[in-house]
């Protein structure tokens, strides 16, 4: 036995040769990946590549058609942030009421929210910097503010893993930056494991530690540097892609790739 | 007749009509908030026509069921199947609802054509909701359904509001959103079936939509949406019934017309607020 044996922690969630889909329709084949404590994981691919399906398998809302999806028995508590467009905000729920929905699992079937639930709501709103919007109707908020409320709702259940589906979709540039900075802050300060799903490479290229790059034919997973190469990206998008480093940030743009980087 | 005389006549001769239409109005206005919020207004129209079909079938000689049972059975059965068909991806959901809507109306006409049990006027009155002649038995059924609805929706408000706002996240949190949606739709189906027998399809569909939209226009909080909707659901039937006597017109359309006046007023109030 080695003296300095570094022990790799058990994965929070692990897919082993999983085939995913709905009914008889296969969306993703033979997927293997594992997410560990403290990971900041990006799931990137073009629209229709099966990202949401993979996310649902990780969350456990769909079962694999074959293979295995294993979630850690203790300590897998997912806080889920859906795409903003999937939320139905016709009714004027306040931000506080929306965040309280994140406490349903804790509140139980027949009980009313307790003082601890109200405290959790306040803390969650505070951690995303919008405690002053607690009584504002969700449907009156800007896109960026709505996203913060949805993140606060996910945090209200005290998750061990935060899963965000296209959190910057449809946002202007400042809101996008602010939202990504907030996600980074939650990962750094609260040591949250984060899975960030996006079709926007720029969102994750300089943010996450490990990444899965996927389309319907390919699935590559690993450290950002080894996956986000010009060769991989050019093959996936079927056009020349350049990857450059600028003061520590990865810049991805169309252009002549040298095919090796 | 003078105002006092009409009010006395309604209270003394038609107390069940008044109480029944208020209960049906409140119940439809409450459940209608979910119907409107979930953008399934057409489903409300379909459920109303299905319950009318259920009523019609009980006029066939070989189906000796009480009218309310027929209405409930067909509506619940169809809603159970509809929830599966609507989830399919081959045919769009609104097309499925359109097909069921047309089929329910066509079947009702065919069924009644071949029913020898009653006069056409009797069938017509029953299907349109003969508000003035509510039987005590039917009123008691309505009262029981109303009480059950109040208990169900008070107990599970959190769950129903959560699946209405975001079913996907509710599922991710461990709620079985599909089941809560089904419970919600089944409760709507029961309310619609019983109310349709009592007050007719125009009233029921009108009150599934008009009071909730009034509430949405006026309210700044979800609970206020329910409160405004239920208030219109309670006031419009009483006022509509009174006006139907005053100007001698059928009660159901008059009640829906009164509710629509509230809706227009709400829209004007909102427009004034915004300007």
- The DSSP-derived string for B83-120 is HHHHH-SSS-HHHHHHHHHHHHHHHHHHHHHT--SS-H
Q: Which residues contact B121 (CB under 8 A, 6 or more apart)?
A: none
Sheet (strand A193-198) strand order: A78-81, A161-165, A193-198, A40-44, A210-214, A219-223
pLDDT given for residue A5 in this prediction? 45
Query: A210-234 burial, b for 16+ CB within 10 Å, e for fewer?
Result: bbbbbbeeebbbeebeebbbbebbb
Cα separation, B189 vs A224, in Å, equals 53
Coil, helix or strand at residue B34:
helix
Report d(CA A29, CA A65) in Å as an integer.
Answer: 9
What is the pLDDT at residue B4? Answer: 86
Judge residue A107's burial from the number of C-beta atoms within 10 Å of its C-beta, 0-12 exposed, 13-18 middle, 19 or more buried. middle
| DSSP letter, residue A9 | P
Q: Which of A199, A37, A162, A41 is nearest to B169 (CA)?
A: A162
What's the CA gap between A189 and A40, in Å, rounded? Answer: 13
Paired tokens of B55: 């009523």
With beta carbons less than 8 A apart as the criterion, state whether B188 and B180 touch: no
Q: What is the pTM of this model?
A: 0.86
Do residues A20 and A49 make contact, with C-beta atoms less than 8 angstroms apart?
A: no
Give me the pLDDT at residue B56, please: 86
Distance from the Cα of B216 to chain A's closest Cα (Å) equals 7
Q: What are the DSSP E strand ranges found in chain A?
A: 11-22, 25-36, 40-44, 66-71, 78-81, 161-165, 193-198, 210-214, 219-223, 241-246, 249-254
**Helices and strands (H, E) in chain B, number of each type:** 12, 0
Would you state the pLDDT for residue A52? 87
Q: Does B216 touch chain A (CB under 8 A)?
A: yes
The per-residue pLDDT for A2 is 39
Contact between chains at B172 and A59 (C-beta distance less than 8 A): yes
Contacts of B84 in chain A (CB under 8 A): none
Instruction: Identify all chain A residues contacting B33, using CB atoms and an 8 Å cutoff.
Output: 91
Straight-line distance from the first to the last Cα atom of chain B, in angstroms, rounded to the nearest whole number: 43
Q: What is the pLDDT along chain A (261 residues), one digit of tens a residue?
A: 334 445 556 788 999 999 999 888 888 889 999 998 889 999 988 878 888 899 999 998 899 999 999 988 777 888 999 988 889 999 999 999 999 999 988 888 888 889 999 999 999 999 888 999 999 999 999 988 999 999 999 999 889 899 999 888 878 888 888 888 889 988 988 888 999 998 888 778 878 889 998 877 788 888 888 888 888 888 887 888 888 887 777 888 887 655 444
* B contact test, residue of A61, A91, A113, A141 with most B CBs within 10 A: A91
Of residues A91, A107, A153, nearest to B37 (C-beta)? A91
CA distances from B47 to B30, B99, B101, B161, B208 (A): 16, 13, 8, 21, 11
* Whole-number pLDDT of residue A101: 95
Q: Which domains does chain B carry? A: 3-274 (1.10.3470.10)
H/E segment holding residue A141: none
Stretches where chain B sits below pLDDT 50 are none
Q: For residue A3, what pLDDT is reported?
A: 41
Asked if the Cβ–Cβ distance from B166 to A101 is below 8 Å, we say yes
Give the separation between CA B135 and CA B143, rounded to whole angstroms.
12
Residues of chain A that touch chain B, judged by Cβ-Cβ distance less than 8 Å? 59, 61, 78, 80-82, 86-94, 97-98, 101-102, 104-105, 107, 109-110, 137, 153-154, 157, 163
Instruction: Render A156-168 in DSSP notation, one character per residue.
Output: TT--SEEEEESTT
Q: Are A86 and B165 a contacting pair at CB < 8 A?
A: no
* Cα dihedral: B15, B18, B22, B28 (round 10): 110
Residue B109 burial (C-beta neighbours within 10 Å; 0-12, 13-18, 19+): exposed
Structure-token pair, residue B47: 């459920």
CA angle B189, B190, B195 (to 5 degrees): 100
């Amino acid at each position: 036995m080695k003296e300095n044996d570094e022990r790799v922690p058990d994965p929070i969630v692990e897919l082993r040769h999983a085939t995913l889909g709905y009914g008889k329709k296969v969306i993703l084949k033979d997927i293997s990946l594992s997410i560990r404590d403290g990971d900041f994981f990006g799931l990137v691919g073009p629209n229709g590549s099966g990202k949401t399906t993979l996310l649902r398998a990780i969350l456990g809302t769909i079962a694999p058609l074959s293979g295995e999806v294993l979630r850690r028995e203790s300590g897998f508590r997912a806080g889920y942030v859906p795409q903003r467009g999937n939320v139905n905000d016709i009714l004027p729920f306040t931000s506080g009421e929306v965040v309280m929905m994140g406490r349903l699992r804790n509140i139980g079937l027949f009980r009313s929210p307790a003082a601890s639930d109200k405290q959790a709501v306040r803390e969650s709103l505070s951690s995303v910097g919008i405690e002053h919007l607690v009584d504002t109707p969700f449907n009156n908020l800007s896109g960026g503010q709505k996203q913060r409320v949805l993140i606060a709702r996910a945090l209200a259940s005290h998750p061990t893993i935060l899963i965000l589906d296209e959190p910057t979709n449809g946002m202007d540039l400042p809101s996008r930056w602010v939202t990504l900075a907030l996600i980074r802050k939650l990962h750094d300060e609260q040591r949250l494991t984060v899975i960030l799903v996006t079709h926007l490479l720029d969102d994750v290229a300089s943010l996450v530690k490990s990444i899965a790059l996927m389309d319907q034919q390919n699935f590559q997973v690993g450290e950002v540097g080894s996956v986000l190469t010009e060769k991989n990206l050019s093959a996936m998008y079927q056009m020349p892609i350049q990857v450059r480093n600028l003061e520590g940030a990865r810049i991805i743009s169309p252009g002549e790739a040298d095919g090796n980087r | 007749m003078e105002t006092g005389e009409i009010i006395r006549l309604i209270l003394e001769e038609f107390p069940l009509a008044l109480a029944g239409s208020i209960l049906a109005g409140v119940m439809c206005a409450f459940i209608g908030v979910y119907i409107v919020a979930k953008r399934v207004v057409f489903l409300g129209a379909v459920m109303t026509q299905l319950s009318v079909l259920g009523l019609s079938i009980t006029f066939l000689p070989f189906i000796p069921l009480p009218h309310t049972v027929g209405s409930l059975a067909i509506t619940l059965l169809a809603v159970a199947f509809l929830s599966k068909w609507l989830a399919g991806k081959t045919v769009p959901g609104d097309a499925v609802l359109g097909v069921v809507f047309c089929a329910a109306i066509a079947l009702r006409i065919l069924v009644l054509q071949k029913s020898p049990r009653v006069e056409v006027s009797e069938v017509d009155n029953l299907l349109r909701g003969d508000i003035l002649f509510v039987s005590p038995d039917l009123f008691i059924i309505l009262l029981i359904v109303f009480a059950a609805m109040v208990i169900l929706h008070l107990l599970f408000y959190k769950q129903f509001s959560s699946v209405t706002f975001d079913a996907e996240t509710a599922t991710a949190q461990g709620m079985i959103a599909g089941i809560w949606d089904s419970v919600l739709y089944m409760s709507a189906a029961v309310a619609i079936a019983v109310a349709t027998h009592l007050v007719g399809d125009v009233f029921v569909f009108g009150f599934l939509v008009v009071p909730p939209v009034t509430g949405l226009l006026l309210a700044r909080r979800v609970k206020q949406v329910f409160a405004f909707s239920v208030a219109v659901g309670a006031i419009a039937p009483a006022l509509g019934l009174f006006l139907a006597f005053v100007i001698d017109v059928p009660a159901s359309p008059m009640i829906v017309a009164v509710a629509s006046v509230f809706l227009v007023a709400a829209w004007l109030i909102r427009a004034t607020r915004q300007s």
